Structure 1
């Protein structure tokens, strides 16, 4: 295939079309907002680039040569394709076209991502937004940095800070309390705040040993002055809630993991440990879908907070989570 020499100028092609359509340099200049001299120069430059006369010039008129008519047909095709390319690029720039890969797991994937995707599907129906379950925090950060995913949702417990790798932007989204959940018959009034040490003698269910959730739990208990009796481990909060409902033990869980099972009650703590949710993306990534997706996730988080205020047996004057400033 012969390589394109790059001698053609889009502006010159548009001028060619206008001169042919109007029949003169002067009329074309008025339509285009150029001077007559500028139009003449553009046509001359195009003829020089192509190596052929495009117009036959008479004393007071000009008309296209066979080469000029042929080039006009080519210009029609080229300019239509350029217009399509411009429209498509505008769509990519606005976020209505393009793709974004989200990496998420756990409670944010269950509570926030579906609500956000619902909004995005209505606003950016032609965009390709996909979700992949990536459970490990380090794996998720690396997945974003290596370009395997574009946007990750990362958890950070208050007593277990996470690393900030170079090139990875962590934008805060949600700050949530950790609350104690127990079987409903053992509960006090929903929303009442009690110290964590009140549960020192209980049997506990917590996340897998070595996980950020488990480390945060142990640090919290240590600060409250007791060593917890741990009977079961799971990183699946659905499993944890099931065990709690069957009175196997109690658990310390983030607000997003509460659910709404009437067989379970929760107890707010006077000095609760907390968990932050960040969205992570590459500093070099200029994908316009990033911003609109983060906005949709923020709206989903606001919906969740509103829901928790009245989802339980009593109205919560203070919500169990809050939106973090960008």
Structure 2
């Protein structure tokens, strides 16, 4: 009768070897993605945190055909089936149907964009699946002939990089920015009193000491630039000549400078459509290629333009020219000698 003794788990030899994290216990798990051997849950979490690994197998990783098994073939087949279902689902989704900005706009948005164009504002809309387009409530009141904008107010703080954000749904274009901001700055208003803690610096400074900045769109480096706004002007006047994507975003700062990371724009001369350099024509490119570099260099002394010389045509023998046309030169010579004799007789008669 043989006796069986229990072998401690620490002395067992694992086919995976020792744990690659703690190196003290035999490995029990292998990561499907990076193939790191671990022994317990804590080691698995440590390896994910240090290697930034999500533990999911890369289904598109290259594998030579010699190493592929039935499992890999089945995995590739399932992956292709998932891709097919995903593509079919996107075709049926109405939000993903349009992939270009040149789509036909609904009638309300078309009227809104035309009304903004009449006011000098370039209004652009995003695709239907963007959250900024979904939450936009800007509309045109057809009877009043007035645009009611949705405005995103960002109150900038010196001690914090994250501004305080407010979204106002109905802002008339006929109101000034001072009137629109009164509800946030006047402590007699309920909204200003409710957010007194976060807006106390702006309320103390007052509208006269605040600087307003519109986030730039449609210009070079638009993410780092902004337009200065005037608080005493109407919203319509401030947005004239600007490009707006869905709705305007306005920064409010109690310093007379743009928020951190932004720089002001003084004019609209850097609009991308106007600032793009025109492509040279084929004639200009050919002229640039054929020009002599010495001629393109600036002359040290101004030289007088040379008069064009008239080139005389090359003289040819009249008889050789006549031969080329098949005319007999002897007849030509006899006729010419006869003409000379007649001419001499006439001269004798005159004498």
**Structure-1-length-normalised TM-score:** 0.22
**Structure-2-length-normalised TM-score:** 0.21
Structure with larger Rg: 2
